[in-house]
Structure 1
Amino acid sequence: MERTTTYKPTILIVNDDGITAPGLANLIEAVADLGEIIVVAPDSPQSGMGHAVTIGNTLRLVKVNLFEEMGIEAYQCSGTPVDCVKMAQDILLHRKPTICLSGINHGSNASINVIYSGTMSAAMEAAIDGIPAAGFSLQDFRWDADFSIAKKVVRTVTQQMLGSHLPENFLVNVNIPKVSEADFKGIKVCRQASAQWKENFEKRVDPRGNDYYWMTGKFVNNDMGADTDLENLKQGYASVVPVKFDLTDEVVGSWIRRNWEVEG
């Protein structure tokens, strides 16, 4: 009789809140039985790092036993979320994982936040290398946030990813609203809302009399479209925004070609 082996996909899990973040543990719990899990996360919080990579400093990768009881191999990295993805492939796996999941972030990464997010940059780094990826964020900054709805969304999206023939460079930004089970409406595919942060820098004085500045500000949304991530989150839906890393603006490009191009 021929032996048959059951295929198990390799799922790389990363984040930006650090190896001890509750959001990371909840993401792992949500998908632990869906494949062979390997975790690589920063050794300290890296929120707002965007797509930063470590160039001028050494990098360290240390095995940790935080998820040993689940039979899951995990490492903490001294670098950025993007470093975690690079080192997972080059140092630990020596191959591409089947998919990459990043999160669950403590706080929203909807709209323009996708640009600043270490969570999404880690997922984007995977997608750049041809690994289907998803970043997950919960609209709750509390360390003791309730991740029950977020875990269901993570599992649903992951199962869809593993069960589908995905297009090249697949990448989605998934945000989950802070609502009760009764008020959760489901999952909607949306577009990214056009919004921005309006910063303000408060001038302060340290105990030695030296000036320093503390960044404050507010989030301004001027996009009232019903099909945006911000609007659907407000309505109680988890938003799924397809993201691409090719930032070419073809509309502006067409205008420039017509008006700026000259033969040398």
Structure 2
Amino acid sequence: MNILLVNDDGIACEGILSLVRALSPQHNLTVVSPESERSGFSHSLTIHTPVTVEKRRLAEFPQVAAYAVSGTPADCVKLGVRVLCGQKPDLLISGINNGENIGTDIAYSGTCNAALEGAMLGVRSIAISLEYAGHAMHYGPCAEFMAGFLEGIGDAAWPVRGILNINYPDADTKKVRGVRLATISDLDYDEGYTLQSEADGKAVYQLYGRLRATQDAGSDEYLLREGYITITPIGYDCLLARHMDRLREMFQADFA
């Protein structure tokens, strides 16, 4: 397959290099990545200033076309699909992200929203993230899982207007308990802001947060914590269809 690889951690990060290492023997890859970390940029685009693209050489993989972009993860996808790949890719993979993308964090994720941008452009897209546990990350097993996963999907049906969001537990392959379809957890954070300094009428604050574990046994947070690879279909269609009839009743006169 012709695969576009993007991420939000920067072109030199181990997550994307691990994917190149695992996928390049079987697939034709194009890497388009922010020049430095763009975590938490969600689906933002650079629209008021030009975006710079620089061709890069990946030391281990001189045969792989790679580009560093001054903009956001979503910019990388647009440039990749519209310009740099030469033709529409068969698949887009965003990741491997340094840290899980689950629950309400999906809304902030550059990794997930880069994949959603791919879906909006008509490309089958996957976001893949590795659970963060504060120590050496097992990118290799995660990348090998993705290589095997691609062998199995073929022309399988894809989420309409959506992507597959995959999270891999921070464990070596022998400790992974299996693969589960998961719902999106409603993450509960103990969070706030710490005042770091205050001078000349300006205050500097730093966000902090600590996740409270959920007991929702079918959710991405719970299953990932239990050692399962989680797969969740998510979409960019923001319509809450189940509320349409109720709103029609509330505003019947106006919507008649």
Aligned to 1:184: 176
Classify the secondary structure of the residue corresponding to 2:61.
helix
Identity of aligned residues (%): 27
Q: RMSD of the alignment, in Å?
A: 2.2
Give the 5 Å matches for 1:75-154.
75-140=67-132, 144-154=136-146
Which residue number in structure 2 is paired with residue 71 of structure 1? 63
Q: CA deviation at 1:16?
A: 0.2
What one-letter code is carried by the residue in structure 2 that aligns with 1:225? D
Q: Greater shift after overlay, 126-135 or 88-97?
A: 88-97
Contact 2:161 2:237 in 1 (8 A): no
Consecutive unaligned residues in structure 2, runs of 5 or more: none
Deviation, 1:155, is: 1.5
Q: Is the 8 A contact 2:159 2:235 kept in 1?
A: no
Letter in 1 for 2:227: G
Residue number in structure 2 paired with 1:158: 150
Distance 1:137 1:205 in 2: 34
Comparing 239-248 and 138-147, the one that deviates more: 138-147
Q: What SS does structure 2 have at the residue aligned with 1:212?
A: strand
Q: Which residues of 2 match residues 18-29 of structure 1 at below 5 A?
A: 18-29=10-21
**2:24: which partner in 1?**
32
Say if 1:155 and 1:112 are closer, same or farther in 2 by CA, change over 3 A: same
Alignment pair present for 1:243 and 2:234: yes
- Write out per-residue CA displacement over residues 142-174 of structure 1, whole angstroms, 9 at most, x where no aligned residue: 585221321232113322334535454451110
In 1, Cα distance between the equivalents of 2:135 and 2:117? 26
Q: CA deviation at 1:69?
A: 3.2
Determine the structure 2 residue equivalent to 1:252: 243
Question: In the alignment, is the contact (CA less than 8 A) between 1:138 and 1:178 conserved in 2?
Answer: yes
Q: Find the counterpart in structure 2 of residue 175 from structure 1.
A: 167
* TM-score between the two structures when normalised by the length of structure 1: 0.88
Give yes or no for contact 1:13–1:38 (8 Å, CA) kept in 2: yes
Are residues 1:62 and 2:54 paired? yes
Give 1:68 shift.
Answer: 6.1
Gaps of 5+ in 1: 1-8
Residue 231 of structure 2 is aligned to residue 231 of structure 1: no
Deviation string, structure 1 residues 15-65 (Cα, Å, up to 9, x no partner): 000000011101111211232100000001000000000011210111000
Asked if the contact 2:116–2:162 (Cα under 8 Å) also holds between the matched residues in 1, the reply is no
**Residues 138, 172 of structure 2: 8 Å contact kept:** no
